[in-house]
Amino acid sequence: MAHHRQSLNLQQQQQQLLLLLAFVFVLGFLTSSCHALYEDQVGVWDWHQQYIGRVKHAVFQTQGSGRKRVVVATEQNALASLNLRTGEIYWRHVLGESDPIDVLELASGKYVMTLSGGTNVRAWHLPDGVLIWEAAIPSSKGSNPPRLVALPVDIDYDKINDLLVLSGSVLTALSGQDGTTIWKVDISGKDVDIRDVIVATEELKAYGVGFIGDSGFTVIEIDLQAGTITDRKTAMTSETLSVTELLVSKQFAVALDSKGTHLVTVSINANGLTVLETALSSLSLNAVGLPKLLPTKLDGAISLALGDLTAIVAVDPTSGELRTVETLVGAVAVSDSLSVANSKHSVAIIQLLEGGHSQNTFSLHVHGEDWTEVVQKETVKLPSHRGHVQKVFLNAYLRTDRTHGFRALVVGEDDSLLLLQQGEIVWTREDELASIVDAKSAELPLERDGVSVAEVEHDLAEWLKGHFLKLKATLFLASADEIAAVQESRLNQADKTKLTRDHNGFRKLLLVLTKSGKLLALHTGDGRIVWSLLIPGFRAPHGGPQVCPEKLLLWQVPHQHAEERPEVLVLGKSCSTSDFPAVLSWVDAYKGIELHTMKLSYPVTHAFGLPLTDSSEQRLHLFVDDQAQAHLLPGSEESLDLFLKQKDNAYFYEVDRTKGIIEGYGIKGLVESSRQTSSEGYLFETEKLWSVVFPEETESIATVATRRPDEVVHTQAKVLGNREVLFKYLNKNMIFVATVTPKSVGLLGAASPEDSTVVAYLIDTVTGRILHRVTHPSMQGPVHAVLSENWVVYHYFNLRNHRYEMSVLETYDQSRVGDKGVMQLMLGRHNASAPLSSYSSSNVEVKGQSYFFTYTVKTLTVTTTARGITSKQLLLGTVTDQVLALDKRLLDPRRSATPTPSEREEGILPLTDAIPISPQGYLTNGYQVEGLRGILTIPARLESTCLVFAYGLDLFYTRTAPSRTYDSLTEDFSYALLLMTIVALLIAIAVTYVLAERKELAEKWK
Amino acid sequence: MKTWLVLLFFVLGFSFRNVASLNSDELPQDDEEWGFVGRETSSRLGGGGIGGEKTGQGSSSSSSSIRNVGESRRIGSTMASSSTTSPSSLGVPGDKKIQFDLEHCFGDSEFTPAGSFSARLRTLPHGRQTLFKLRLTRNPFSELEEKAFKEIVQQNGFYKVRVPANVIDPGKAYVVAAVKARCLAAANLKERFDLNLDQGNVVGITYSSAVECTQNPHPQVFPSDWTFSSWIVTKSSEQAMRLIPMLDDTPLMSGEKLVTGEDGVATKVVEKNFWQKYWMYILPFGLIVINAITSITNMPDEPASGQAGAAPAGAVPQRISGAGGARRR
């Protein structure tokens, strides 16, 4: 009996021991998932850059004694105040995607007024960007651009000047104090289409100017204080008018006739309206195509574009007579009129100099009141990668000699922002980086033999000194200055920014393609721009069709031939139409020069690299056109031979989101005639092999996730705690598709939980086999997914529990299950090496599990490492524009509430209903990557480490080690301490040896 | 005896095959005992939650059923190609018999009728529809088709089939699938259809030869028998288990107690026993005690072995022994 009890006790002890072990393990796991930084580590290997995007409105604040600044609104819906001396951001606000800023005005010298979408008026405090008030105007019908006028008078007697907003046909007066509506008047009438509003301050009158139908003008007079319509004037024209654009000035309005041959001017004066029609030919303007009125606000003049030509036509305010004052050819930017002292007006015109094409030299002319007079004349040379000037904003300042000087804020073709003064570029903002389309990484060149590391590094004494300082700092012996010096040296490590490959593979080039058609290489060390190129092949001729960059493909990645340069291929498509032929451009990734460009004769629906490279390590690419034919590039005999060998095993698929169809294709024969035009690629006929049709009424494609083509998987086998082996089903052709109920695509609440479903599919893209299909009832999109190795994780919204959920699916190959046991695996007695074929009848077991998750997700990706040994982290772009790292082990479908001891040993966590979020899991630390759109993960050469580049409006780069840096010493490891310890020990050994000898001798003499 | 048994099995198997082929010829009006094919797993809806034993978080297994439908006779004429919907005279009210075409094509040719599927459609009370009892009547190859098939076998091309995506009300959308003609030929036209059904829709088909065909390149053989033998597998969607918020109401384990934290949330804490709480004090104390005991036990021995005197015990003997050693030399 006693014996029995003892054995029971023993069992209990064992259990306790196991519990303890498990506890220690869990503790160990928790600590290993912490990636927090110390304060002094910030900026050592991460960097963060802030941008605002392409500027569309700018107002200057240069009067007064305060800091000189310019407030800008951008196409990326950012509102920012910049330091006019340096271009730095004082403050910045990024508004939502559906909140574009239409009008930007300064009011009362200290408020910034913005009007978004014709419905939201906001007042911001100029010095610090605090939102003072926000007023919502009920949206009224009408598609005309809304107007906002900051009144120079106070109409509600609160000593703050007020505002007028024209939105649709409703004119609203808002209090400048708090944005309350003072009065509101609907100025529409039969056929009346009011376009603009002008204010006569002295008379306290506002005038709404617009069209009547398409054959007349109307001016409506409104009393500013009462908000009542006091008068309506109309004037009919003999010609029918083009009602797309109406230019309104204080004393006149100008429109084009529908044929585009006449300019129709209406003069607004006390007596009434007088209409005058002037033929363009009489202004010696020969129309090439349809002329277009430019929305530039000029005083006493209008500007219009006639094909390649830009003309400025002065208008006589009383008679309405027209006179051409300037005709300009080519790329021209005209600023709005700027009123300087003595109510004089000035206009800046920036024009590419004749013959300045190669130099990218521009002339900047500032015209005075009279158009003949040129107040300021400068030539500016812009770097060639800035392209032409797209927009110019003029600002005046008082020179030392009390005359007026002018500076110009210009927006380049590449979306960058520059300030020009006295013919010089004062500062540049690389705001093209706010709109990255695609990003890839490239290796840096190898270190050359001539340059040894020692020459670049400091000498040994310096090195030792640095380490000695570090040691002092760690032992709390250093003074404040010394600590600062240590921090300085950490942040500016010389080897961090070198332009050569490093041993650990941390130094790389980030190749980013921007919306403006610019390719830039950023250094991972400090984020500086190594080179930039405005891709010449994509630059639109003046007024020609615009080419939008679409995709960045790694054309050539040299491994064997280190002297070869990596090449990237940029694919461009027409911005507007889909059937426009595509443009290709090959760029040297080291130098940033376009090697050659090609305009294809066919449009490209999608392009992808094949897992084949030719002898010069150029990757073979397939371009699929709209007829579902495949074109093979490079168009060399060698690549053709290579491809023909693999032709029967080449398949591709296309996803048609609108129709809800996925179709798979096989490659048929080569079209022999394409041998002649092989520079455009060998043409292959294709054959539709399979299709998956999602039921139209119940499912529409929400997301498609694929594996990274360059993903490395370390092992197929997963050894369980009980020494059994699970085989991952690693199908390179597997994709994940999630569909949602079409009704629930829109906002939350659009569909009831009963008829809103998310369906997840795993599809083999060679055969079209649906490997797995699982429905999640009462769920709603948007769905974000990431597919890696044998698992997929996806994120969606649970309508019943009103929470987000994340699900995981893992696929295991049951057909290999016979070879169980680690011993068999080790002895090679298994069939894990047998190739996996899409055509073999697979026996896939799918394990799945769902968890609640707290956040909305903007983007989802996974870390990658060089050999795939390190465990993985999911990287989530959260709604707060931060990057959160989650250990994949949290999303393990084999988690259970009470894991068995063997499962615990394996590291399976006890099941929870929600994924815990550790505050230390944020890779972005305290930063925000505003407008986060994508996260690029790059494997370093060091297996433990993965490089992470997050981009949106801002850029952020850091390193992450999902299983800690187990293969290298931390960088604050004190080599000096180690060295000094060794030296001290050696000395101690020598001293004690001598002492011992002496003592022994003394003993002997005793 | 053994031979007899084997023979018996063989004969039995053969006769069963015959019976099966006979059955498929005339379409049975009602054979409820065969069960549903591709039925939604509605019975498993909302079963279980998280928190219990095994927590029920896994997903229910997919309902897929396999039906072997025998081969069809060689018919010279093509069958009526329109899909018909006719209410059934027998069976459960609301059941409909529907028929839809299987079409095939050889390489680049147009799709032509190759047979017809017949199935029963049942509308469940909550409006969902299920297809079951799916049968295929395969038209044998005509002379022309046989020739075309041989051609694509030689070219190592694909033999493709398609069915309408919506089988109840066929529209323009078709679900296509293909198989290497050589695989099908090598398998003697033993084919396998895996249909993924969603109510009245076919989402996808996997069309393959019933015999594994992974050789590459596939050897060129022609079927010895030009009769199709179809194997139909229907699959419907799995339904993921509903995730129910976990309420921590598991009973307290022995040695656990509830402790209300600063945030007012009660958490379970495993109560430590005396040793777990105070080991860090006990251990050094124990060491000191042991040390002391050993020194005490050693103390009385020292003066006895060495010289008498008041000199410290530790240093004196050493010196003596060292000096003694020197002297001995």
* pLDDT tens sequence across B60-81: 434 444 444 443 333 333 333 3
For residue A576, pLDDT beyond 70: yes
Q: How many CA atoms lie within 13 A of A386 on its CB side?
A: 25
Range of lowest pLDDT (A151-155, A318-322, A779-783, A831-835): A831-835
Q: Average of pLDDT values for A298-312? A: 84
CA distance A696 to chain B (A): 9
| Nearest of A910, A902, A898 to residue A723 by alpha carbon | A902
What is the DSSP code string of A341-392? Answer: GGGEEEEEEEEEPTT-TTTTEEEEEEE-SSTT-EEEEEEEE--GGG-SEEEE
Kindly determine whether residue A666 and residue B213, on different chains, have CB atoms separated by under 8 Å.
no
pLDDT of residue A14: 54
Q: Average of pLDDT values for B278-286? A: 89
Q: Average of pLDDT values for B281-300? A: 88
Kindly determine whether residue B180 and residue A839, on different chains, have CB atoms separated by under 8 Å.
yes
Kindly determine whether residue B50 and residue A897, on different chains, have CB atoms separated by under 8 Å.
yes
pLDDT classification of A487: cutoffs 50, 70, 90: confident
pLDDT classification of A825: cutoffs 50, 70, 90: low
> For A667-692, how does the pLDDT look when each residue is reduced to its tens digit (9 = 90+)?
988 888 888 777 888 999 999 999 99
Q: Which residues of A touch B158 (CB under 8 A)?
A: 666, 687, 689
- The rounded distance, in Å, linking the Cα atoms of A677 and B157 is 27
pLDDT of residue A964: 82
SS (H, E, C) A580-616: CCCEEEEEECCCCCEEEEEECCCCEEEEEEEEEECCC
SS (H, E, C) A520-557: EEEECCCCCEEEEEECHHHCCCCCCCCEEEEEEEEEEC
- The rounded distance, in Å, linking the Cα atoms of A147 and A690 is 54
> For B177-196, how does the pLDDT look when each residue is reduced to its tens digit (9 = 90+)?
998 888 888 888 888 888 88
ipTM: 0.75
By the CB < 8 Å criterion, does B178 face chain A?
yes
> For A55-95, how does the pLDDT look when each residue is reduced to its tens digit (9 = 90+)?
999 999 877 667 789 999 999 999 999 999 899 999 999 99
pLDDT classification of A627: cutoffs 50, 70, 90: confident
Kindly determine whether residue A695 and residue B53, on different chains, have CB atoms separated by under 8 Å.
no
Q: Which of A849, A853, A908 to mutate to test the interface with B (most CBs of B within 10 A)?
A: A849
User: In the block, which residue shows the tokens 């001995």?
Assistant: B328
Q: Which of B243, B276, B279 to mutate to test the interface with A (most CBs of A within 10 A)?
A: B243
pLDDT of residue A114: 92
| Nearest of A191, A234, A227, A182 to residue A209 by alpha carbon | A234
Q: Which residues of A touch B55 (CB under 8 A)?
A: 896-897, 911
Average pLDDT of chain A to the nearest whole number = 84
pLDDT classification of B316: cutoffs 50, 70, 90: very low
Beta-bridge mates of residue A280: none
Q: Which of A698, A778, A841 sits opposite B208 (nearest CB)?
A: A841
Range of lowest pLDDT (A9-18, A252-261, A296-305): A9-18
Residue, of A466 and A217, whose pLDDT is higher: A217
pLDDT classification of A714: cutoffs 50, 70, 90: confident
User: Taking the mean position of all CA atoms in its chain, how far away is CA B246?
Assistant: 27
pLDDT of residue A531: 92
Name the DSSP letter for residue A9.
H
Q: Which of B160, B237, B243 sits opposite A759 (nearest CB)?
A: B237
Q: Which residues of B touch A753 (CB under 8 A)?
A: none
Question: Which of the residue ranges A454-463, A826-835, A958-967 has the most confident prediction, judged by mean pLDDT?
Answer: A958-967
Kindly determine whether residue B208 and residue A848, on different chains, have CB atoms separated by under 8 Å.
no
Q: Collect all residues with Cβ–Cβ distance below 8 Å to A262 and sequence separation of at least 6.
A: A239, A256, A277, A278, A279, A280
User: In the block, which residue shows the tokens 């299709």?
Assistant: A691
Residue, of A279 and A841, whose pLDDT is higher: A279
CB A962 within 8 A of CB A873: yes
Kindly determine whether residue A776 and residue B240, on different chains, have CB atoms separated by under 8 Å.
yes
Q: Is B194 exposed, middle or buried (0-12, 13-18, 19+ CB in 10 A)?
A: buried
**Which residues in chain B (81-120) have CB-CB distances under 8 A to chain A?**
107-108
- The rounded distance, in Å, linking the Cα atoms of A78 and A881 is 15
User: Which helix (H) or strand (E) segment is A12 a member of?
Assistant: helix A2-32
Phi, psi of A691 (to 5 degrees): -150, 145
Question: Tokens representing B232?
Answer: 């139909």
For residue B42, pLDDT beyond 50: no
For residue A874, pLDDT beyond 50: yes
Beta-bridge mates of residue A665: A652, A688
For residue A123, pLDDT beyond 80: yes
- The rounded distance, in Å, linking the Cα atoms of A185 and B264 is 56
Q: How many CA atoms lie within 13 A of B142 on its CB side?
A: 13
pLDDT classification of A287: cutoffs 50, 70, 90: low
Q: Which of B206, B212, B275, B329 to mutate to test the interface with A (most CBs of A within 10 A)?
A: B206
User: In the block, which residue shows the tokens 């005490």?
Assistant: B296
Cis peptide before A634 (omega within 30 of 0): yes
Q: Angle CA(A605)–CA(A607)–CA(A609) in degrees, nearest 5?
A: 165
For residue A912, what is the nearest residue in chain B, using CA coordinates?
B246
Q: Which percentage of chain A shows pLDDT scores above 70?
A: 89
Kindly determine whether residue B238 and residue A774, on different chains, have CB atoms separated by under 8 Å.
yes
pLDDT of residue A298: 86
Residue, of A595 and A755, whose pLDDT is higher: A595
For residue B50, pLDDT beyond 60: no
Question: Residue B224, SS3?
Answer: coil
CB B48 within 8 A of CB B241: yes
> For A220-251, how does the pLDDT look when each residue is reduced to its tens digit (9 = 90+)?
888 888 888 888 888 888 888 888 888 888 88
Question: Tokens representing A678?
Answer: 């092989």
Q: How far is CA A197 from CA A172, A194, A253, A292, in A?
A: 11, 8, 11, 21
Range of lowest pLDDT (A281-290, A785-794, B197-206): A281-290
pLDDT of residue A953: 93
Q: Average of pLDDT values for A365-369? A: 84
Q: Average of pLDDT values for B162-183? A: 87
For residue B235, what is the nearest residue in chain A, using CA coordinates?
A773
Q: Average of pLDDT values for A697-707? A: 91
pLDDT classification of B301: cutoffs 50, 70, 90: low
Residue, of A834 and A568, whose pLDDT is higher: A568
pLDDT classification of A662: cutoffs 50, 70, 90: very high
pLDDT of residue A19: 54
End-to-end CA distance of chain B, in Å?
A: 100
pLDDT classification of B5: cutoffs 50, 70, 90: very low
Kindly determine whether residue B214 and residue A695, on different chains, have CB atoms separated by under 8 Å.
no
**Which residues in chain B (214-233) have CB-CB distances under 8 A to chain A?**
214, 216-217
> For B113-131, how does the pLDDT look when each residue is reduced to its tens digit (9 = 90+)?
988 888 888 887 777 788 8
End-to-end CA distance of chain A, in Å?
A: 70
Residue, of A654 and A459, whose pLDDT is higher: A654
pLDDT of residue A73: 94
Cis peptide before B217 (omega within 30 of 0): yes
Q: Where are any strands of DSSP class E within A626-755?
A: 630-633, 651-656, 661-670, 682-693, 700-705, 717-719, 725-727, 734-740
* Strand A734-740, strand A700-705: pairing: antiparallel
> For A493-517, how does the pLDDT look when each residue is reduced to its tens digit (9 = 90+)?
667 777 888 888 888 999 999 998 8
> For A187-219, how does the pLDDT look when each residue is reduced to its tens digit (9 = 90+)?
877 788 888 888 888 888 888 888 888 888 888
By the CB < 8 Å criterion, does B67 face chain A?
no
Q: Which residues of A touch B183 (CB under 8 A)?
A: 839
Flag whether the pTM goes above 0.90.
no
For residue B30, pLDDT beyond 50: no
pLDDT of residue A824: 61
pLDDT of residue A569: 93
**Which residues in chain A (626-665) have CB-CB distances under 8 A to chain B?**
648-649, 659, 661, 663
- The rounded distance, in Å, linking the Cα atoms of A593 and A585 is 10
